[in-house]
Amino acid sequence: MTRSITLPSPAKLNLFLHIVGRREDGYHELETLFQFLDYGDDITLRLTSGQPGIRLENPIPGVPDEDNLIIRAARALATKAPGELPGVSISINKRLPMGGGLGGGSSNAATTLLGLNRLWELQLDLDELAEIGLALGADVPVFVRGHAAFGEGVGEKLTPVFPPEDWFLVLKPACDINTGKIFSEQGLTRNTPKMTIAPAFEGDASRYRNDCEDVVKKLYPEVKQSMDWLTKFGPARLTGTGACIFGRFPTESAARIIWESKPSGITGFVAKGVNISPLHQKLTELE
């Protein structure tokens, strides 16, 4: 039996994000293109047979353990086990900014689900894990399935796509944005027409956008400033409901040159877009 495993928990970008309607429960219906980045957190899961229970060795400041998506995912998975499970000790090396629109919490949940499914030898398939994930957050299923995808509904209806694996400069303006606040804004565009076919790529900037961008720029001048700066070098876009923005580049060095000239006070990183999640790449290597 494997006793310990360290797995990546990558970021996602919403290469575009359209709001095409609203459900009766108030949730917004989206059309979005998800691609992963080869950059993110790492999670180590270690079985502790003599010591039952689920423990997080390094809690995330500001996130109580009961709310932490790692713990919530582990507990949700444990309810699917037929009998007694060995205990597990979990630690996280957090690199992704929280509340940045990079899906860090959702990715952590997916990595925990897939990792513990293997360590606990539960043999749940991806459909079952995606269903457990969806109850934790709308972005969890795409991380569970691990392929770049056109997402519909709240993001749970996924069609695999193959956008080009370009390089991205991701900037994190110095503000925290609450997803619920953006979706409750009056001025938000909620009536973008639905697409008839799943687009494989968002190359044509005039057709694809992020519908949250105008509202976010108005409410958070930090985002507008970063966007104005990045736009000098090419098209820039918001991911999710922000706060992170990104620019696309054909090579790593092209992205790094711009990164090195960034104004002081902005954090961020350079990473490659990938269509197979680094989590799934690692799990395949371990087979």
Ligand X SMILES: Nc1ncnc2c1ncn2[C@@H]1O[C@H](COP(=O)(O)OP(=O)(O)O)[C@@H](O)[C@H]1O
Ligand Y SMILES: C[C@@](CO)(OP(=O)(O)O)[C@H](O)COP(=O)(O)OP(=O)(O)OC[C@H]1O[C@@H](n2ccc(N)nc2=O)[C@H](O)[C@@H]1O
Kindly give, in sequence order, each residue whose CB lies less than 8 Å from that of residue 121, ignoring residues fewer than 6 positions away.
1
Question: Which partner in ligand X, ligand Y, none is near 138 (CB below 5 to 8 A by kind)?
Answer: ligand Y
User: Is position 282 annotated as part of the catalytic site?
Assistant: no
Looking only at the bridges linking them, the beta strands covering 54-56 and 87-93 are: parallel
Residue 146 binds ligand Y, judged by CB under 6 A: no
Residue 155 binds ligand Y, judged by CB under 6 A: yes
User: Is position 157 annotated as part of the catalytic site?
Assistant: no
In angstroms, give the least distance from the CB of 186 to ligand Y: 13
40 is in an annotated binding site: no
Residue nearest to ligand X (CB): 105
Q: Which of 35, 108, 111, 117 binds ligand X (CB under 6 A)?
A: 108
Question: Which partner in ligand Y, ligand X, none is near 278 (CB below 5 to 8 A by kind)?
Answer: none
Number of residues that bind ligand X (CB under 6 A): 19
Residue 104 binds ligand X, judged by CB under 6 A: yes
Q: Which of 38, 41, 94, 139 is catalytic?
A: 139
Tokens 């709310």 correspond to: 67
Give how far Cα 48 sits from Cα of 34, 55, 177, Å. Answer: 35, 10, 37
Secondary structure of 126-166 in HEC code, one letter for each residue: HHHHHHHHHCCCCCHHHHHHCECEEEEECCCEEEECCCCCC
Residue 67 binds ligand Y, judged by CB under 6 A: no
Of 192-221, which residues contact ligand X (CB under 6 A)?
none
> Measured from the CB atom, is 174 or 286 closer to ligand Y?
174
Give how far Cα 12 sits from Cα of 2, 50, 111, 136, 282, Å. Answer: 28, 37, 13, 17, 17
Tokens 């799990």 correspond to: 283
Q: Which of 115, 199, 240, 278 binds ligand X (CB under 6 A)?
A: 240
119 is in an annotated binding site: no
Q: What is the DSSP string of 248-263?
A: EESSHHHHHHHHHTPP
Which residue(s) pair with 47 in the sheet?
Answer: 88
Torsion of the alpha carbons at 88, 93, 94 and 95, rounded to the nearest 10: -150
The residue type of 36 is F
62 is in an annotated binding site: no
- The binding site for ligand X (CB under 6 A) comprises 60, 63, 67-70, 96, 98-106, 108, 179, 240
- The binding site for ligand Y (CB under 6 A) comprises 14, 17, 26-28, 30, 32, 101, 103, 106, 137-139, 154-155, 179-180, 183, 240-241
